[in-house]
Amino acid sequence: MQSVAAALARLGDLAASPTVSRLANAFAAAGHELALVGGPVRDAFLGREINDLDFTTDATPDQILAIVKPIAEGHWDIGRAFGTIGAKISGETVEITTYRADSYDGETRKPDVVFGSSIEDDLMRRDFTVNAMALRLPQLTLVDPAGGIDDLMAQTLRTPAAPEISFGDDPLRMMRAVRFVAALGFTLELDTAAALEEMSDRIQNISAERVCEELSKLLRSNTPRAGLELLVDSGLAAIVLPELPALRLEIDEHHHHKDVYQHTLTVLDQAIEYEVARQNLESPDLIVRLAALFHDIGKPATRRLEPGGVVSFYHHDVVGAKLAKKRLRALRFDNDTINAVALLIELHLRFFGYTEGAWTDSAVRRYVRDAGDQLERLHILTRADVTTRNRRKADRLGFAYDDLEHRISVLAEQEEMAAVRPDLDGEAIMRILDIRPGREVGEAYRYLLEQRLDDGPLGEEEATRRLQAWWAGREV
C-alpha cells in the first residue's frame, strides 16, 4: 500500500502523460468536467500496474464524441446507450462515460439509464468504496465521497450505499465482491458480508454469461482461493457452482478419507504455482485452473463406503468429466474450453498407474496421443494433484513423473511423437488394398495406428506387410 502522497504523485505523473493530458485539455477547453475514475485511482494507491484508463464526465455522449474526434486516432460508440464512448488517443485505449444516476427495477440487473450531473452522485452509485474514487483533471483534485482511501488503508471491501440496496440494484456485485476479495486480498466489511449471505439467491437474476465472466476473472487472479471460499461460505456457490460445496463430504467415524474440498483448493493453488513456474503456457491459464477446480467433482456421486473403513471413488474421473461438461455448458463457456477441461479431468488419474509398474513405450505413446494438445496442462494437473503430507510418497510420485516426462521427451525426439500417425495414409491404404473410401479404410487406419503406437515407426514396407496380413486374416 502506498501513502496518499506517493499515490497522488503517481497519479500526477499519469495525468502528465500524452493521452491523459490531451484529453484533460480538450474537455477543459470545451467547458466540461473530466475525471480519472475507479480502478486506475485505486491501483495507484495499491502500487499496482495501471492498465485501464476510465474517465467520467458531465458531457453527454454526443458532446464526448465531439470533443474526442479531433484528437483521437479512432473512436467507437458501442456503449453509447449506457453513456460510454471509447477512443484511441496517443496510442492508448480509453473509455469515457457520462455521469450516471441510474434506477433499478429490483427484478433484473438492467437499469433504466439516467445521466447525472454530479460526480459525487456518480461515485456513490458504484460497487465498492475502493472503486468509488476519482481524480479531477486537470486540477488533480481527489474526489472520495464514500471513504475509499480509509477502506484501502484498512484493506476492507464495503459498498458506498447500504449493501442491501447496492446488491439489490445489481446482484452481480456479489460476484464482484468475491473476485475483489481474491484479487486485492481484502476482507468484507461485516454488514456487506451479512448482506452477501442473506441475498445470495438474487444471483439467479443474473445471466449465466455474466456469472461466467466474473468466475473466469476470479480464477485468473493470482490467489483465487480466498474468493472461492467466500463463494462457498456465502451460499453463492450453491447456486452458480454447486459442485464445489458438494465436495465437503461427510466423514463418519468408521470411514476416513481426505477432505476433498480442501484437497481441491490445494490442487488449484499448486496448479497455479506449476503453471507459473513451468512457463510453457501463457499465465494465467483458465483451462488449467478450471480443470484443477473440477478434477474431483465426480467423487460425491461415486463415493462408496467399503468394508474395513475404506472409501472408494471408482470412475470418478469419467463421471467428473461428464459433470464438468454439464456445468460449464450451463455457465456458457465456449466449446474448446469445455472439451479441454473435460479431457483433463478424464485423464488426470492415468499417471498413477505408472507408479505401479513400468510403462512400455507403447503406453507412453498412448498417454501422449490421448492428451493431444492438452499434454502440458495434463503435466501440470497431475503434478498438482499430489497433496499428500507424506514426504516420501510425494517424492516418489514426483520422481516418477519426472521419469515419465523424460521418456516422453526422448520418444518425441526419436519419433516426433506429438504428431503420431500411421506409416500409411488413407490413400496408400486404398491403393494397397484396392478398396474405395468407406468404413474399411477407417478400420485399416486405426489398425495401423495401434501398430505404430505399439512398435514405433515401421516404415512403408513393414507397414504394408502388416496391413496385407491383417486384411487377409480379418473376419468378413
pLDDT in tens, 125-167: 999 999 999 999 999 999 999 999 999 999 999 999 999 999 9
Please state which CATH class domain 1-153 belongs to: alpha beta
Establish whether domains 1-153 and 251-419 are of one fold. no
Taking the C-alpha atoms of residue 100 and residue 116, their distance in angstroms, rounded to an integer, is: 5
Beta bridge partners of 94: 53, 87
**Which of these, 328, 332, 258, 260, lies nearest to 297 by C-alpha position?**
260
pLDDT in tens, 418-442: 567 888 998 999 999 998 888 888 8
Residue 475 grid cell: 473376419
- Regarding beta strands 311-312 and 156-157, do their DSSP bridges make them parallel or antiparallel, or are they unpaired? unpaired
DSSP state of 126: S
Beta strands in 90-125 (DSSP E): 92-98
- List the chain domain ranges: 1-153, 155-241, 251-419, 426-473
pLDDT in tens, 226-279: 999 999 999 999 999 999 999 997 554 434 556 899 999 999 999 999 999 988
Q: Check residue 386 and give its pLDDT.
A: 92
Predicted TM-score (pTM) of this structure: 0.83
Q: What CATH number labels 155-241?
A: 1.10.3090.10
pLDDT of 197 > 90? The answer is yes
* 412 C-beta neighbours (distance < 10 Å), count: 17
Q: Is 1.10.3210 the CATH number for 251-419? A: yes
